[in-house]
Amino acid sequence: MSTPWYATWFNTTFYHDLYQHRDEHEARSFIVELCKKLGVQDGESAMDMACGRGRHAKVLSEQGLDTLGVDLSQESISYASQFSHDSLRFEVGNMLERLPFGPFDWVMNLFTSFGYFEDDNLHQLALNHMAECIKPGGKLVLDFMNSAKIAANLVPENTVHTEMATYSINRKIEDGVIVKSIKVSHDCTLEFFEERVRAFSVEELKVMLENAGLKDVEIKGGYDLCDYDELDSDRMIFIAHKPTA
């Protein structure tokens, strides 16, 4: 069985180089705003699922949350662990498997760290596992790209130059999946990578969250929790509640 694209691409130095603009300042700004709007309280607990190198988890802990960052990548967790302290730790974990963590007041899946699987049954399984980690009365925050806006404004191709490499990027929508093909030119060599993210609609994700046993699903259009507009909002942020009984 071949290695999934995300297990390869996210572990490369090229991935971190291409997306270096996703910096600490950006992470801090929107996490602080999001926590304020959500009403996060000091002393509550949170799991940052698919935390990468921990930039979001660090800021969550600064907002008074006892935070666990979880990611599939051992490399990312090793890097993130340098930031560990009493209210911030990191563990390797796979959302496709039952997670031995929690329960938490908040489970957060941020910056489109979802939608990577070939089969929607696997997406449902991942949401089920996240929901299992929430305390009764707690909430799941799923921050996803606004698929409708991206599809309407898809840039077919562009080129990015950095000090490390040149990235030639092609985009298309194929069977409900946004496919980004990335050609990396580096030191007279070429390497090829691909990103594949399911272009979920609001309705599809809402049904999946409800199927995971979550209720009162709200949909917001940005980190300030503004109203969602299909063609104008930058994000689809779902806030789903776990029933107390």
Q: What pLDDT, on the 0 to 100 scale, is given for residue 63? A: 95
Alpha-carbon span 181 to 195, nearest angstrom: 7
Q: Is the pTM of this model over 0.85?
A: yes
Contact in structure between 166 and 189 (CB atoms under 8 Å): no
Alpha-carbon span 72 to 95, nearest angstrom: 8
What would the pLDDT profile of 55-111 be if each residue is shown by its tens digit? 899 999 999 999 999 999 999 999 999 999 999 999 999 999 999 999 999 999 999
Q: What pLDDT, on the 0 to 100 scale, is given for residue 22? A: 65
The mean per-residue pLDDT over the stretch 122-146 comes to: 97
Both tokens assigned to 59: 């800021």
Nearest to 197 by CA among 239, 144, 121: 144
CATH code of the domain made up of 5-149+201-241: 3.40.50.150
Domain ranges of the chain: 5-149+201-241, 153-195
Consecutive H or E run containing 38? helix 24-38
What would the pLDDT profile of 141-195 be if each residue is shown by its tens digit? 999 999 999 999 999 999 999 999 999 999 999 999 999 999 999 988 999 999 9
1 pLDDT more than 80: no
Q: What pLDDT, on the 0 to 100 scale, is given for residue 179? A: 96
